[in-house]
Amino acid sequence: MSAFFTLHHGLPRAAPGDAASLEWALGVAGVPARARILDAGCGPGPDLAVLRALRPGARLVGMDLHAPFIDRVRAELPEVEAVVGDMLAPEGRFDLIWSAGAAYGPGVTIALAAWGPHLTPSGAVAFSDCLWRNPRPAPAAHAFWDREYPGMCDLPGHLARIEAAGWRVRGARWLGEAAWQAYYGPLSARVEALREGALRAGADPALAEVLDATQAEIDLWRDHGGDYGYYLTVVVPASAGQGGAGPG
């Protein structure tokens, strides 16, 4: 695990995403100016910086189990309440719970069940999750995601899972290429730099393994990225009032 964090230390993002998608989600969710917002699984905090810019009057909370991520948030965004802890067990209630690519860990159903009691009456959850876009993905893509995310499903399965959990979609859309580039661009440069350093200093087997696996993941996206994608979904409890756009 230390080799993994050596690779990711200091990078801007820990998952695909971009400011435009977050701004869209805030609008769909109707997040007020002085909202209380949780970034669940915040990583190094890129979305917290965007939230601060888009909702300067909001009270922001970032939660992540990885303490160095939280240390970075505290150093760069001192006005944010940054907490080392389980993103499924925050304190208090929120007008928005935002989670970029982190719900796959516990599973979407478990995550929504945990977050529901922490919403205000008009609150919403906005989260991104990786889904199949092609019903017949390339064998390499199928093999990779079977290892990395066995519970990954297609869009109809995703929507059915949300409905079965007692939630309703207020709006949804696929993340564009810019969101992937924001993650894989810096990551690819880091892989190259660490590989060059390892050649000079002598290879660390654990780090070399992580670098090879990460480069294979990036290459897979470049070759077969059309087979899968991150889908951003804004949901509210099914009992909440109607309104907003449907899935896109």
196: exposed, middle or buried (C-beta count within 10 Å: 0-12, 13-18, 19+)?
Answer: exposed
The reported pLDDT for the residue numbered 244 is 46
Task: Specify the amino acid at residue 91.
Answer: E
Q: What is the DSSP letter of 118?
A: G
The pLDDT mean for the chain works out to: 93
Residues 213-221: what's their mean pLDDT?
Answer: 96
Q: What confidence tens digit (pLDDT) does each residue in 26-39 have? A: 999 999 999 999 99
**H-helix or E-strand containing 122?**
strand 119-132
Rounded to an integer, what distance in angstroms lies between the CA atom of residue 177 and that of residue 180?
A: 5
- Measured between alpha carbons, how far apart are the two ends of the chain, in Å? 37
Share of the chain above pLDDT 70, in %: 94
**H-helix or E-strand containing 51?**
helix 46-54
Residue 179 has pLDDT above 60, yes or no: yes
List, in order, residues 6 or more apart from 9 with CB less than 8 Å away.
68
Q: What confidence tens digit (pLDDT) does each residue in 116-157 have? A: 999 999 999 999 999 999 999 999 999 999 999 999 999 999
The reported pLDDT for the residue numbered 248 is 58
Residues 149-168: what's their mean pLDDT?
Answer: 97
Residue 163 backbone dihedrals phi, psi, to 5 degrees: -65, -45
**Model confidence pTM above 0.85:** yes
Residues 202-223: what's their mean pLDDT?
Answer: 89
Q: What confidence tens digit (pLDDT) does each residue in 41-78 have? A: 999 999 999 999 999 999 999 999 999 999 999 999 99
Residue 243 has pLDDT above 60, yes or no: no
Residue whose pair of structure tokens reads 């019903």 in the numeric block: 135
Share of the chain above pLDDT 90, in %: 85
Q: What's the pLDDT band for 223 if we cut at 50, 70, 90? A: very high
Q: What confidence tens digit (pLDDT) does each residue in 1-11 have? A: 578 888 888 99
Rounded to an integer, what distance in angstroms lies between the CA atom of residue 136 and that of residue 186?
A: 30
Domains and CATH numbers, the chain: 14-176+226-237 (3.40.50.150)
46-54 and 19-29 helices, crossing angle to 10°: 50
Q: For 110-176, give the DSSP string.
A: HHHHHHGGGEEEEEEEEEEEEEES-SS--HHHHHHHHHH-TT--BHHHHHHHHHHTTEEEEEEEE--
